[in-house]
C-alpha cells in the first residue's frame, strides 16, 4: 500500500530485522521499557506487525493479534510523532483491515487518547463499548472496524 507522491509511504510486513528500528519509533520502547522492546521483537518474529516507511525509514507500525474472543484485534498502533497527521496511521489501519483473517476487527484506546479516537472515527471505525478498570481513572473505549471483506 502506498501513497502516490515523492514522499511515498509503503506499508509492508515487518521482519525480525525491523525490531530495532521500530523500538526507536515507539516512545515507550525508546524510553527504555524492556517489556515493550521484547513485545516488538516478538511481534516482528511472529509476523504480526506491519511497518509504514518512507525513504528515511520506519514511520510507524501496527500489530494485529487474534486473542480477542477469536477475532482480530489491533493490539498496537504507533506512529512516530514527527510523522503524525500525514496519513500513516490511516494507512496502517487500512492494512490491518485488509490483512485481517477474521470476520471482525476490533481495537481500543483510552478515553484520554483523543488523537487515536479521532483517527478511528475518521477511518469509519464504530465505538462499541467502554470498559472501566484497566487503567485507573482512564476507561478504555472499544471500536469495531467497518466490514473489511
- Per residue in 46-85, pLDDT (tens digit) is 999 999 999 999 999 999 999 999 999 999 999 999 899 9
Phi–psi pair at 23, nearest 5 degrees = -65, -30
Whether 49 and 16 have beta carbons less than 8 Å apart is answered as no
Residue 137, in any domain of the structure: yes
Using the predicted structure, report yes or no on whether residue 148 has a pLDDT greater than 70: no
| Radius of gyration of the chain measured on its C-alpha atoms | 15
* Whether this model's pTM surpasses 0.95: no
Residue 74, in any domain of the structure: yes
Structural domain range at position 86: 10-144
Query: What percent of the chain is modeled with pLDDT above 70?
Result: 94
Tracing cell 483523543 back to the chain, one arrives at 114
Residue 66, in any domain of the structure: yes
Residue 2, in any domain of the structure: no
Amino acid at each position: 500500500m502506498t501513497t502516490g507522491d515523492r514522499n511515498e509511504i509503503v506499508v509492508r510486513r515487518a521482519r525480525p530485522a525491523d525490531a530495532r528500528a521500530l523500538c526507536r519509533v515507539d516512545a515507550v520502547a525508546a524510553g527504555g521499557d524492556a517489556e515493550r522492546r521484547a513485545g516488538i521483537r516478538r511481534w516482528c518474529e511472529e509476523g504480526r506487525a506491519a511497518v509504514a516507511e518512507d525513504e528515511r525509514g520506519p514511520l510507524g507500525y501496527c500489530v494485529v493479534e487474534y486473542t480477542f474472543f477469536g477475532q482480530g484485534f489491533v493490539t498496537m498502533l504507533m506512529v512516530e510523532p514527527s510523522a503524525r497527521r500525514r496519513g500513516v496511521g490511516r494507512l496502517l489501519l487500512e492494512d490491518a483491515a485488509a490483512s485481517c483473517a477474521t470476520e471482525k476487527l476490533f481495537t481500543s484506546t483510552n478515553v484520554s487518547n483523543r488523537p487515536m479516537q479521532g483517527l478511528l472515527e475518521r477511518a469509519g471505525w464504530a465505538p462499541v463499548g467502554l470498559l472501566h478498570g484497566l487503567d485507573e481513572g482512564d476507561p478504555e473505549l472499544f471500536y469495531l472496524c467497518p466490514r473489511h471483506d
